[in-house]
Structure 1
């Protein structure tokens, strides 16, 4: 029933579209249910203070940070440094994915 193109995955980069963090990027670090996920960026929003977000308030970016996803597969957790690295890497090499919607 779920459209595979729009279902969130751990390690996926998201653009926050509503709330105080609007316009900022985060990475999905936990899937709660169909409507909610937890995100962090390793900087302002650390892993130990993940933000629960409604999927309606996020825009999924067509990019999965492999290092974050593999970290969860291997250890079940991710470090703030790895999240920061993944977001920096994304911005340096894939920022064109953000400009599509403009």
Structure 2
């Protein structure tokens, strides 16, 4: 099994959860603990205040990075759950459009 290390993880980036209870769902990285662990939230089931610590090996990084989430984290160190839901909604709609085009 080869791991995709071309995409570096950063706050505001959308990831697909590969292992655990939420496998198959998408979330946003809200902070990075170290080279092995990040904190993720989706703004719905997993709120910003109750972010989940995940091993990076259990995540599949996506190329989409939400500028709204990044700006909010830089300005205040926090992000609203609504912005997390909005970012994931944008990602899913962009992904479905790309799938329809056959990209």
Instruction: Quickly name the TM-score band, shorter chain normalised.
Output: 0.7 to 0.9
SS at match of 2:46: coil
Query: What is the match of residue 13 of structure 1?
Result: 14
Query: What is the match of residue 100 of structure 1?
Result: none
SS at match of 1:84: helix
Q: What number of residue pairs does the alignment pair up?
A: 95
Query: What is the match of residue 70 of structure 1?
Result: 71
Q: Flag the structure with larger Rg.
A: 2
- Taking structure 2 as the reference length, the TM-score comes to 0.86
- Taking structure 1 as the reference length, the TM-score comes to 0.87
Query: What is the match of residue 23 of structure 2?
Result: 22
| Contact 2:9–2:61 (8 Å) recurs in 1 | yes
Query: What is the match of residue 39 of structure 1?
Result: 40
Gaps of 5+ in 1: 98-102
Tell me the distance in 2 between the aligned counterparts of 1:71 and 1:38: 16
| Contact 2:7–2:63 (8 Å) recurs in 1 | no
Tell me the distance in 2 between the aligned counterparts of 1:6 and 1:13: 11
